Structure 1
Amino acid sequence: MTRRPHRKILRAFVNFTALTVGISAGIAQLANLSDGLGQWLLTAVGIGCLLFLVVRFSLHYYVRRAGQLEDEAERANRRAVTVELGHRRYADAVDRIIDQEGLIYTESLHLIITIGVDDAGDAVEEQRQTTPLPRVTQRAIRPIVPDGSGALIRLEDISFRATLHPSITGNITSLPLPSHRGPRVWLVFDPGRRNPFDWKVTYQPAGLWRPLRQDGFDHLVWTDRLPADNGGRSGLSDLRVEFRFPYVDGPPPHVEELRSVGEFQPARRTERDDGSAEHWVVEWRDPRPAGRRYEWRLAQAPNRTGTDPAALAHPRLPEQGRRSWSRVLRGW
C-alpha cells in the first residue's frame, strides 16, 4: 500500500518536533535556565516547528499543483491538436465539394481596385450580378491580398464584408477556409437564391499596392477558372475591372493587359465635391470571358519628375512585384 505524501510530511514533522523539543529541553536543563526563560525558549521552538509545518505543507501543495497544471496543459494541447486536425479535414472536405461542383450560376462581375496614397488606402470592391442555375446556396472566393508575407490573414485583418443589395431580404455568412494558396472565404446565402440578385464584397488588404507606390510599377494576375463538367465554358458573362489611382499631376497612370485581351477606356480624372482632383481611373472590360488567365501591368510614378511616358508604358517588372488572385468558379 502506497503512503500518501501528506502523511509522510506529517510523520517527518512529528519526528522533527520531538527531536527539536528534546534538544531544547536538554540544553535548557544543562544551562540551568530559569523557568521563565525556559518557557520562552520552548514557546519559540514550538512556533518555529509550526512555521516549519506550514512551509513544508505549502511547498508540497504548490509543487503538486504545478504538476497538475502541467498535466492539464498537456491534455489541453492534445485536445487542441485533435480539434485542429478535425477542422482541417472539415475545411479540406468543403474545398473538394466546392471545386467539384458544376456550374450553378452565371455572373457579371465588376472589380473596383483602389490604389491608396498609403497602405491603409488600398481597397477592393467586387460588385456582382448573379443568375442562379437553378439555385445558389453557397460559394467560395479568394480575396486579393499582399503576397509573400507568409502570415495567416484573418477576415478581420482585411475588414472583409459580403452583403446583399439593400432591396434583397437575407444575409451572407462569411467563413474562412484555411488554404496553402492564400485565404479563401466560404460564403453561405440565407436563404438560398433562386432569382437573379445583386451583391457585393468589400475588403481592405493594407499594403497590397506598396510596390507600386515605392517602385512605380506592379503586376496583377487573375485567373478565371472554369466550373467542373461545364464543357470549357466560363461562368462569367461579363468582366470589368476599374483601377483607381491616386491623382498626381503629370501623365496619367498606364495599365496594360499583357495578352492583349479585352478593351481599355482612356484614363479619366474624377473630382471631389469641391472640384479638386481625386483619382485617375482606368477601365478595362472583357465582354466574352472564356476561362482565361489575365495579367495586368500597372505603372505610375507619383514621386518622380521628368518621367518618360514610354518608360511608364513598358516598365521593367521584378518577379517579386507580382500580385496574384486565382478566381475559383467551381460552385462559388
Structure 2
Amino acid sequence: MSFTFDIDYNDKSSDARAGRLHTPRGVIHTPIFMPVGTVATVKGIHMSELEEVIHAEIILANTYHLYLRPGLEVIDKAGGIHSFNSWKKPVLTDSGGFQVYSLGKNRKITEKGVEFRSHIDGSKHLFTPESVVDIQRTIGADIIMAFDECTPYPCPKDYARDSMHMTHRWLDRCFDQFSKTDTDSAVQQCLAPIVQGSVYADLRAQSAAYIASKEAPINAIGGLSVGEPDEDMYAMVELINGILPASKPRYLMGVGTPANLLENIALGIDMFDCVLPSRNARHGMLYTHEGIINIKNEKWKKDFSPIDARSNADTSRRHSKAYLRHLFLSKELLGAQIATLQNLTFYLQLVRAAREKIKQGVFDTWKEKAITQYSQRL
C-alpha cells in the first residue's frame, strides 16, 4: 500500500485543511501532533495510554539515539521498532540531523557527512546520507527523514546558502540509497525530504522548489523553531507552503506551543512534533483547557479542583491540582507521569478540535479565541 493523502475539508477563511494520510499501518487524521518517543519510548507513558487515552496516531523515534543505544543489532533481532516497543501504528524516525547539530564542538560536518562523538561514551562515528537511510531501514520506521543540516539561528546568509545546497546534495544521495535498498517486505517505507534555508526568503523559496520537484509522499520543513521570532517562523511557513504541493502533507518539524500549532495549521501545516509538552510536563508546566499552569506555585497548594476537567485523561479529571503539586514537591515519579499524560492528551485534543472546526468552516475565528485562552498563564 502506498502513502496517499486525501484532503477532506478546507477552512473558508484560512489555508487550514483537514485530511487523511494513508499508510500501511493505518490512517493518520490531519492536522496531527506526533508525540516524541526519542529512544522508542514516550517518557513516562505506556503504549496503552498512547493508544487509549492520548489517542496518538503516530509517534516519533530518533535515529541518532537508537543507533547508539540499544544499537541496530538489538532492534533488527527484535524484528524492527514496532516489535521492539510494541507500538503497532505508524512510526516516523528523525534522521538525527538536529541531534548532530546540537552536539556543537563534538561533531564535524563535511560533504561526506557528519563525524561525531557519542554523548554516551565519546566513541567516534560517521553519519552519511547513505548510512542514515540504511539505519532507518533497519529500525523499520514507516516514515524516514532525509539527512540534512539544521542551521542555527542567527545564521549568516552565506552559511545558510552553502548549507542548503549541501542538504540538497545529501537529499539526492538519500533518494539514491533509498531506491537501491527497496525491499519486498510486507510494510512499505517512505522517505521525506526537508526544506532548509534559515529565515532567508529567497533561500527558502529555492529549497521549497527543489523539495517539491522530488514529488515525495510527504514534505517537511526544518530549521525553524530554533530561536527565531515566531513572526519569522510564520512568514517562512507561509512562503514555503505557497510552493510545496498542496496535494501532499506538510510536516513542520519541532514545533511547538499550542499557539504555534494553531497559527501554522491556519497556514496549511498538517503534521507537527515537539518535545515541549512532555519536557515541560516533567518540570511542572501544564497545558490545560483553562490556560497554562505552573503546578509548583504556592497558589495550587489548597486547590482541590481537577487538574483539567475537560481532559480525556482520567488522571487529570480524578486528581486535584493540590495533589499533583504535592507529588512534584515530593519528587514522586507519578507527578511527572500525570503531568505528561495531561499535556500530550491536551495536544491531541487540540488538533482534533482544530480538525472539527475546519470541518465546520469556523477554524479561523475559533483559533483566535483558543490561542487567547490556552496561552494565558494562570
- Same fold? TM cut 0.5: no
* Larger relative strand fraction: 1
Based on CA coordinates, which of the two structures has the bigger radius of gyration?
A: 1
- TM-score range, shorter-chain basis? under 0.3
TM-score, with structure 1 as normaliser:
0.25
